[in-house]
Amino acid sequence: MPDARKTRILIIDDDDGFCDLLRIHLSAAGYQVQVAEDGVAGGRALLAQTPDLIISDVNMPFLDGFELLSLMRADESTAAIPVILLSGRSDGDTMAKAVELGAADFLTKPVTRDQLLESVEACLARAKGRGAPRITARRRRSEPALRRPFQPRPGNHKTSQSRPCRQAPAR
């Protein structure tokens, strides 16, 4: 169960229906949830307000879950944030790549409520145990390598700016 301070979880997935299902389960469990529609919007949300945990789909437009995780692990200010990767594919190569990139867990879609909450609680407990540092605003300003992929691309008519991240309604 989450602490008295609401634990923030960022969900990054281009499937609105699946995002809503995850949001409902996590909000009901007491977590503060934010949703982003793809890796670029997720990166922007990550830089705007650091979550305690990220749940990301692997296959998304613009920036997939593997690319996002790779960028996060390459930057010391986001490297300690646990990331649970989700995919409809459960082949060995996909899972091996998730482990290689440092995913905290890998879940295969469809995911049950119990699988989701068990994974979230285990990942948060492991992160708390190692004392993962919180990112300060001062450190965030000094991470141009991480920010670069989340900037709009010139001439790209379809960007992830079409829909802003959705904040889950407070209960």
Cα–Cα distance measured from residue 45 to residue 42, given in angstroms and rounded to the nearest whole number? 5
In a domain, 171, yes or no: no
Q: What is the CATH number of the domain that holds 106?
A: 3.40.50.2300
What are the structure tokens assigned to 108, written together? 């295969």
pLDDT for 146: 54
In a domain, 55, yes or no: yes
Token pair 């979230």 is at which residue? 120
In a domain, 76, yes or no: yes
Cα–Cα distance measured from residue 73 to residue 91, given in angstroms and rounded to the nearest whole number? 23
Q: One digit per residue, pLDDT tens: the chain, 171 residues? A: 554 468 999 999 999 999 999 999 999 999 999 999 999 999 999 999 999 999 999 999 889 999 999 999 998 889 999 999 999 988 889 999 999 999 999 999 999 999 999 999 999 999 988 644 433 333 334 444 555 555 554 544 444 444 444 555 554
Query: Structural domain of residue 24, as residue ranges?
Result: 8-145
> Which residues pair with residue 57 across a beta bridge?
86
User: Which DSSP symbol is given to 151?
Assistant: S
In a domain, 39, yes or no: yes
* Exposure of 121 in the CB half-sphere (CA atoms within 13 A): 13
Q: How many domains does the chain have?
A: 1
In a domain, 154, yes or no: no
In a domain, 102, yes or no: yes
